[in-house]
Amino acid sequence: MFPIEKYTHIDNIELVKNIPRVNLAEASRFCVSKDFKRRKNEAGTLTGVEPKWVDNFTEKERRAFPHITIGLLACLIKISSENEIYYWYAVMKTSLARFFLSLGMYFVPIGPIADYHGKRRPYIIKISELLDGVFKKDLDYWKMMSNKNNT
Protein backbone atom coordinates (compact mmCIF):
# COMPACT_ATOMS: atom_id res chain seq x y z
CA MET A 1 0.00 0.00 0.00
CA PHE A 2 1.02 3.58 -0.60
CA PRO A 3 1.25 5.83 2.47
CA ILE A 4 -1.72 7.82 1.12
CA GLU A 5 -3.79 4.62 1.29
CA LYS A 6 -2.65 3.84 4.83
CA TYR A 7 -3.03 7.25 6.42
CA THR A 8 -5.89 8.95 4.57
CA HIS A 9 -9.34 7.89 3.45
CA ILE A 10 -9.87 7.65 -0.30
CA ASP A 11 -13.58 8.00 -0.97
CA ASN A 12 -13.38 8.57 -4.73
CA ILE A 13 -12.58 4.92 -5.49
CA GLU A 14 -14.07 5.11 -9.01
CA LEU A 15 -11.38 7.56 -10.02
CA VAL A 16 -8.47 5.36 -8.93
CA LYS A 17 -9.64 1.77 -9.27
CA ASN A 18 -8.77 1.33 -12.97
CA ILE A 19 -5.29 2.84 -12.79
CA PRO A 20 -2.66 0.09 -13.06
CA ARG A 21 -0.59 0.26 -9.88
CA VAL A 22 2.59 -0.23 -11.90
CA ASN A 23 1.86 3.19 -13.50
CA LEU A 24 1.07 4.96 -10.22
CA ALA A 25 3.43 6.59 -7.72
CA GLU A 26 3.04 8.79 -4.68
CA ALA A 27 4.62 12.24 -4.77
CA SER A 28 3.81 13.59 -1.32
CA ARG A 29 5.49 15.71 1.34
CA PHE A 30 6.35 18.68 -0.86
CA CYS A 31 8.59 20.29 1.73
CA VAL A 32 10.95 23.21 1.58
CA SER A 33 13.57 23.01 4.32
CA LYS A 34 13.53 25.57 7.10
CA ASP A 35 17.15 26.44 6.29
CA PHE A 36 16.14 27.35 2.75
CA LYS A 37 13.26 29.46 4.04
CA ARG A 38 15.59 31.34 6.40
CA ARG A 39 17.00 33.26 3.49
CA LYS A 40 16.24 36.97 3.41
CA ASN A 41 12.48 37.72 3.33
CA GLU A 42 11.45 34.09 2.76
CA ALA A 43 10.51 32.91 6.27
CA GLY A 44 6.84 32.03 6.46
CA THR A 45 6.37 31.64 2.71
CA LEU A 46 4.60 28.60 1.34
CA THR A 47 7.28 27.69 -1.18
CA GLY A 48 10.44 29.33 0.11
CA VAL A 49 10.31 32.14 -2.40
CA GLU A 50 9.41 35.58 -1.17
CA PRO A 51 6.45 37.29 -2.88
CA LYS A 52 8.69 39.97 -4.45
CA TRP A 53 11.46 37.57 -5.50
CA VAL A 54 11.58 39.21 -8.92
CA ASP A 55 13.02 42.42 -7.41
CA ASN A 56 16.06 40.58 -6.01
CA PHE A 57 17.29 39.00 -9.24
CA THR A 58 18.72 40.15 -12.56
CA GLU A 59 16.75 39.53 -15.75
CA LYS A 60 18.90 36.47 -16.48
CA GLU A 61 18.34 35.08 -12.96
CA ARG A 62 14.57 35.70 -13.19
CA ARG A 63 14.49 33.57 -16.33
CA ALA A 64 15.96 30.69 -14.33
CA PHE A 65 12.97 30.91 -11.96
CA PRO A 66 14.18 30.01 -8.48
CA HIS A 67 11.08 28.09 -7.45
CA ILE A 68 12.33 24.98 -5.70
CA THR A 69 8.91 23.31 -5.75
CA ILE A 70 8.62 23.64 -9.53
CA GLY A 71 12.14 22.28 -9.96
CA LEU A 72 11.21 19.34 -7.78
CA LEU A 73 8.16 18.63 -9.94
CA ALA A 74 10.28 18.86 -13.09
CA CYS A 75 12.57 16.16 -11.66
CA LEU A 76 9.58 14.01 -10.67
CA ILE A 77 8.15 14.31 -14.18
CA LYS A 78 11.44 13.14 -15.70
CA ILE A 79 11.76 10.23 -13.26
CA SER A 80 8.12 9.28 -13.85
CA SER A 81 8.59 9.34 -17.62
CA GLU A 82 11.65 7.10 -17.37
CA ASN A 83 9.71 4.60 -15.23
CA GLU A 84 6.34 4.57 -17.04
CA ILE A 85 4.58 6.36 -14.18
CA TYR A 86 1.53 8.18 -15.56
CA TYR A 87 -0.34 9.11 -12.36
CA TRP A 88 0.64 10.55 -9.01
CA TYR A 89 -1.01 10.29 -5.69
CA ALA A 90 -0.24 13.30 -3.49
CA VAL A 91 -1.05 14.28 0.07
CA MET A 92 -0.77 18.02 0.65
CA LYS A 93 -2.14 21.06 2.37
CA THR A 94 -5.02 22.69 0.52
CA SER A 95 -2.90 25.87 0.25
CA LEU A 96 -0.29 23.97 -1.78
CA ALA A 97 -3.02 22.52 -4.01
CA ARG A 98 -4.26 26.11 -4.61
CA PHE A 99 -0.69 27.17 -5.46
CA PHE A 100 -0.42 24.34 -8.01
CA LEU A 101 -3.83 25.29 -9.42
CA SER A 102 -2.54 28.84 -10.00
CA LEU A 103 0.10 27.25 -12.26
CA GLY A 104 -2.50 25.22 -14.17
CA MET A 105 -2.02 21.96 -12.23
CA TYR A 106 -5.36 20.56 -11.12
CA PHE A 107 -4.77 17.91 -8.49
CA VAL A 108 -8.11 16.12 -8.04
CA PRO A 109 -9.16 15.64 -4.39
CA ILE A 110 -9.97 12.00 -3.70
CA GLY A 111 -10.81 12.13 -0.01
CA PRO A 112 -11.38 14.33 3.01
CA ILE A 113 -8.74 16.26 4.93
CA ALA A 114 -6.82 13.97 7.29
CA ASP A 115 -4.38 14.54 10.12
CA TYR A 116 -1.22 13.28 8.43
CA HIS A 117 1.83 15.41 9.29
CA GLY A 118 -0.72 18.18 9.83
CA LYS A 119 -4.00 18.78 8.03
CA ARG A 120 -3.61 17.38 4.53
CA ARG A 121 -5.85 16.06 1.79
CA PRO A 122 -5.31 13.16 -0.63
CA TYR A 123 -5.19 14.00 -4.35
CA ILE A 124 -4.47 12.34 -7.65
CA ILE A 125 -3.33 13.73 -10.99
CA LYS A 126 -2.53 12.33 -14.41
CA ILE A 127 0.91 13.68 -15.29
CA SER A 128 0.01 14.40 -18.93
CA GLU A 129 -2.97 16.48 -17.70
CA LEU A 130 -0.69 18.32 -15.27
CA LEU A 131 1.58 19.25 -18.18
CA ASP A 132 -1.38 20.19 -20.41
CA GLY A 133 -2.65 22.55 -17.70
CA VAL A 134 0.75 24.17 -17.28
CA PHE A 135 1.09 24.49 -21.07
CA LYS A 136 -2.19 26.45 -21.21
CA LYS A 137 -1.18 28.68 -18.30
CA ASP A 138 2.52 29.41 -18.85
CA LEU A 139 4.63 28.18 -21.75
CA ASP A 140 7.92 28.96 -19.98
CA TYR A 141 7.04 26.78 -16.96
CA TRP A 142 5.86 24.05 -19.32
CA LYS A 143 9.14 24.14 -21.24
CA MET A 144 11.11 23.78 -18.03
CA MET A 145 8.90 21.03 -16.59
CA SER A 146 8.64 19.03 -19.80
CA ASN A 147 12.26 19.69 -20.83
CA LYS A 148 11.05 20.94 -24.22
CA ASN A 149 12.63 24.06 -25.62
CA ASN A 150 11.45 24.27 -29.23
CA THR A 151 7.66 24.35 -29.07
pLDDT in tens, 100-112: 898 899 999 999 9
Q: How many of the other CB atoms lie within 10 Å of CB of 11?
A: 12
Instruction: Note the Cα 125 to chain centre separation in Å.
Output: 10
Q: Is 99's pLDDT higher than 70?
A: yes
The pLDDT value recorded for residue 60 is: 47
Amino acid code (one letter) for 32:
V
Domain interval for residue 85: 3-146
Contact status, residue 140 vs residue 61, Cβ threshold 8 Å: no
Q: Answer whether residue 131 is part of any domain.
A: yes
Report yes or no on 105 lying in a domain. yes
Contacts of 90 (CB under 8 A, 6+ apart): 4, 26, 27, 28, 30, 107, 122, 123, 124, 125
Q: How many domains does the chain have?
A: 1
Q: What is the pLDDT of residues 22-68, one digit of tens each?
A: 999 999 876 666 555 555 555 555 544 555 545 555 554 444 444 67
Q: What is the model's pLDDT at position 138? A: 87
By CB atoms closer than 10 A (0-12, 13-18, 19+), residue 84 is exposed
What whole-number distance in Å separates Cα of residue 3 and Cα of residue 130?
22
Q: Is residue 104 part of a domain?
A: yes
pTM of the complete model:
0.76
39 lies in a domain?
A: yes
State pLDDT tens for residues 17-33.
Answer: 999 999 999 998 766 66
